[in-house]
Amino acid sequence: MAVALYTHHDMFDHRPGDRHPERPERLRSVIDALDDAALDLAPNDAPIVDEADLLRVHDKAYVDEIARLAPASGRAVLDPDTSMSAGSLTAARRAAGAVVQAVRDVAAGKANRAFCAVRPPGHHAEPGLPMGFCIFSNVAVAAHAARAAGFARVAVVDFDVHHGNGTQAALGGRPGLFFASIQAWPMWPGTGHPDDAAPDNIVNTVSPEGAPAAVWRKAFEALMGKVDAFAPDLILVSAGFDAHARDPVSGGSQSLEEADFAWATRAIADVADRHARGRVVSSLEGGYDLQALGRSALAHVRALGEG
């Protein structure tokens, strides 16, 4: 099965700092790994997101403030973890635009599986707050766009090592939307524990820090049981690879390898095959060891293409 790939060279121009973990080389490692594997990919340029799509999730005042703060040179610090350079606004708009366009192409029957190689990531950005390297909530914006495109039941599966607090804030309590997330615990940002109060359409599960991959797999399998019960007609994936054993940001708090991400992808595809005619749109979130990131993204996209 061909996998539609959405990316754009403008995303290399988001430069939050020379020593920042969310650096342009991350995207290069993913693109190079996919290129070297000679996969059956259908490349697409990521467009600039329409403001109307951003406003499905983000406050108008927030969108305007991000545009105002975008620097012509140097850097603007949004929070202790999140900065913008001269190319960041365009990169962020294309990152969100990539996932929205992928959803619309899937809705139109132009693709069935898609991977969005984007940066900056998005799942920590809340409706009115940048956070955790994220400016716009890429997958959440796309989930709302999917509903507008006619999908009745849209599920987001997030397997980043950190909880997607921004996605939860954007999807919680919204009809036709479902958020299922697995994250290490305890782990920044300190949200997403199953005991925390959450709307009925939010399901969180955790894997303890230092747990072996088998523990993570068991928790993910149970999580996917909840997604299966929701019976989505489209699945979006926040594909973070920072649960990899080599990841420097998570400190190796999880023990996953490329094979675990491929296994998880197949579990997602199985649910999509049962309920959604196989339709899956995935978007890159975290992952900060360049070698592990490239190999993990390749394993993920290869599994997406297995049909």
> Percentage of the chain surpassing pLDDT 70?
100
Phi and psi angles of residue 165, each rounded to the nearest 5 degrees, phi first: -60, -35
Residue 297 has pLDDT above 90, yes or no: yes
Task: Report the pLDDT averaged over residues 118-137.
Answer: 98
Q: State residue 228's pLDDT score.
A: 98
Task: Report the pLDDT averaged over residues 12-41.
Answer: 96
CA–CA dist 119, 136 (Å, integer): 10
CA–CA dist 91, 287 (Å, integer): 18
Residue 307 has pLDDT above 80, yes or no: no
Residue 261 has pLDDT above 80, yes or no: yes
Tens digit of each residue's pLDDT (9 = 90 or more) over 190-203: 999 999 999 999 99
Q: State residue 1's pLDDT score.
A: 79
**Could you confirm whether 8 is annotated as catalytic?**
no
Tokens of 240: 């973070």
CA torsion, ordered 122, 39, 258, 23, to nearest 10 deg: -40
**Tokens 């595809």 appear where?**
269
CA–CA dist 129, 150 (Å, integer): 28
Q: State residue 252's pLDDT score.
A: 85
Q: State residue 230's pLDDT score.
A: 98
Task: Report the pLDDT averaged over residues 256-267.
Answer: 98
DSSP state of 127: T
Q: In which band, very low, low, confident or very high, does the pLDDT at 284 lie, cut at 50, 70 and 90?
A: very high
Amino acid at 122: G
Catalytic residue of the set 8, 123, 124, 300? 124
Task: Report the pLDDT averaged over residues 260-285.
Answer: 98
DSSP state of 118: -
Tokens of 104: 């619309």
Q: In which band, very low, low, confident or very high, does the pLDDT at 187 lie, cut at 50, 70 and 90?
A: very high
